[in-house]
Amino acid sequence: MRDRMTAAAGVLAAAAAMAATEGLAAVLDLRESPLVSVGQSVIALTPGPIAEAIINVVGTKDKPLAVTSVVIAVLLIGALVGTLWLGRRLVAGGLVALFVVLAAASVLSRPYASPAGVFAAVAGGVVVVGVLQLLLRDQDAAGVNLSRRRFLRTAAVIGLATVVVGGAGQVLAARHRRRQAIEKVRAALTLPVRAEGVPAGVDLGVKGLGPWLTPNRDFYRIDTALSPPLIDPASWTLRIHGMVDRELTLTYQDLVDRGLSDAWITLCCVSNPVGGDLVGNTVWGGVPIKDILDEVGVQAGADALLSTSDDGWTCGTPLRALTDGRDALLALTMNGEPLPIAHGFPVRQVVPGLYGYVSATKWVTEWEVTRFADFQAYWTQRGWGERGPIKTQSRIDVPREGSTVAAGTSVIAGVAWAQRVGVQKVEVAVDDGPWREATLAGVPNIDTWVQWRLGWDAEPGRHTIQVRATDQDGTTQTSERADVLPDGATGYDSVSVEVD
């Protein structure tokens, strides 16, 4: 009786340990879980003739077989450790430690060896010990005081946790594999993008001022997806329906076949606070949305495009903004590459002049031509404005807030944007001094941000620098501070610095 209980405890402890290890491996995004590493070692260490004999019998199932054998072996070792736990704790502990060391060695012998893998293996050992302590806590070496009910209750809880953690680990691991597969498909795509460099004169080259072109890896990311949808372009479609004359379903290849036009567009989030960095500038490649809308024939009375993403997120965009001639794109590329998965792969929208939440649907799969009166999109339901034109803003990037500046000749620099109108001038004021006009860099169009700079003769002491932009209609951004909710922040960006 006692032996059966302790052996069962050991098996459960081993199962829990494997679930924990696999779960950790998935969470830590390991290329290979410790269990698989051990399985690989078993394969590697199996003498050739035996391996051949096995392969003869099981064929290509040799790898699952190796992993299954490891799992069974671990459970058996668990049983042994369990039976030794009460009487010969040291031997039991030694067995656990030995197995952890072997597993860690397996992990380290593999091409994707990582400290995280060793950590996951060690965590498995810790779980074995913890579970045995918990399950056999009422019992002494002689097996007195066996509380069967409590044992079963604890075992049930641990068993449930094992199933949940192990299952979640498998789901995560499957997702990880799917992500790798989609990354591979993405990397293999060859899209007809023009290799257009950065336009001349857009970068002022001021130290500390970021590049005019935001690299994809530095581009801000905002969405409601805990992990981004993983979509194979070969199965992607965009279904277009609603107030249209002809419904249409487009495939990825349909878009590629139309040829891609590109456009420099600065994208900005409505949640970007004054001076914030939820804004980026890049070249997007795709099919003009207007061409597609013309093709399906928008019916009279419609004023909105309700777009839905693969994960159910929705967005309402004024049809006018999509058809008035601006570079509104159904985009496939970002800075000359297929869209990164996090930025909407395979297809997203980009519309100059509108905040992302009302225009830039990533992973878009459905369009309904409709009326604003007939729906509310995701963020509008949550209190954000129905329309979201981007407000004119300017930002000081050099010097940084709170930094110390050497007295003498210095420079103040940053970016400003006024999409759809363009920036006419940027002015800077130090303390209560006059507004002085900064030098602007070049821009390829009115929809990107522009870099600006101003020489500054910095005098010792504490100073506050402010900036404001004026658009090409002559409208200066308002100094009135407004929160990002409901339709974008306003106010002047300012930084305080110490000059000495």
Ligand X SMILES: Nc1nc2c(c(=O)[nH]1)N[C@H]1C(S)=C(S)[C@@H](COP(=O)(O)O)O[C@H]1N2
The contact set with ligand X (CB under 6 A) reads 219-224, 267, 269, 309, 311, 313, 343, 356-357, 360-363
Nearer to ligand X, 39 or 229 (CB): 229
Map residues 265-304 to x or -, x wherever contact with Mo ion holds by CB under 5 A: ----x-----------------------------------
Q: What are phi and psi of 250, to 5 degrees?
A: -105, 145
Q: Of 411, 462, 454, 414, which is closest to residue 434 (Cα–Cα)?
A: 454
Q: Out of 117, 318, 356, 388, which residue is the one contacting Mo ion (CB under 5 A)?
A: 356
Quote the least distance from Cβ 487 to ligand X, whole Å: 12
Quote the least distance from Cβ 321 to ligand X, whole Å: 15
Quote the least distance from Cβ 265 to Mo ion, whole Å: 15
Residue 375 contact, options Mo ion, ligand X, none, Cβ 5-8 Å cut-off depending on partner type: none
Nearer to Mo ion, 361 or 470 (CB): 361
The residue number whose beta carbon is nearest to ligand X equals 356
Q: Out of 27, 185, 193, 222, which residue is the one contacting Mo ion (CB under 5 A)?
A: 222
Query: Which of the ranges 174-182, 207-215, 303-311, 357-365 carries the binding residues for Mo ion, by CB under 5 A?
Result: 357-365
Quote the least distance from Cβ 197 to ligand X, whole Å: 22
Nearer to ligand X, 362 or 391 (CB): 362
- The footprint of Mo ion on this chain (CB under 5 A) covers a number of residues equal to 4
Residue 343 contact, options ligand X, Mo ion, none, Cβ 5-8 Å cut-off depending on partner type: ligand X
Nearer to Mo ion, 254 or 277 (CB): 277
Quote the least distance from Cβ 208 to ligand X, whole Å: 23
Nearer to Mo ion, 279 or 305 (CB): 279
Q: Of 446, 466, 447, 448, which is closest to residue 456 (Cα–Cα)?
A: 466
Nearer to ligand X, 103 or 364 (CB): 364
Quote the least distance from Cβ 196 to Mo ion, whole Å: 27
Determine the Cα–Cα distance for residues 427 and 232; give it in Å rounded to an integer.
48
Nearer to ligand X, 87 or 385 (CB): 385
Quote the least distance from Cβ 219 to Mo ion, whole Å: 13
Determine the Cα–Cα distance for residues 126 and 85; give it in Å rounded to an integer.
14
Quote the least distance from Cβ 388 to Mo ion, whole Å: 9
Helix 34-45 and helix 2-27: axis angle, to 10°? 100
Q: Out of 357, 363, 449, 492, which residue is the one contacting Mo ion (CB under 5 A)?
A: 357
Query: Which of the ranges 109-117, 241-249, 262-270, 434-442 carries the binding residues for Mo ion, by CB under 5 A?
Result: 262-270
Nearer to Mo ion, 23 or 229 (CB): 229
Quote the least distance from Cβ 309 to ligand X, whole Å: 3
Nearer to ligand X, 119 or 357 (CB): 357
Nearer to ligand X, 106 or 359 (CB): 359
Query: Which of the ranges 92-100, 310-318, 356-364, 438-446 carries the binding residues for Mo ion, by CB under 5 A?
Result: 356-364
Determine the Cα–Cα distance for residues 188 and 166; give it in Å rounded to an integer.
33
378 is a site residue for Mo ion (CB under 5 A):
no
Quote the least distance from Cβ 357 to Mo ion, whole Å: 4
| Beta pairing, strands 237-242 & 248-251 | antiparallel
| Site residues (vs Mo ion, CB under 5 A) | 222, 269, 356-357
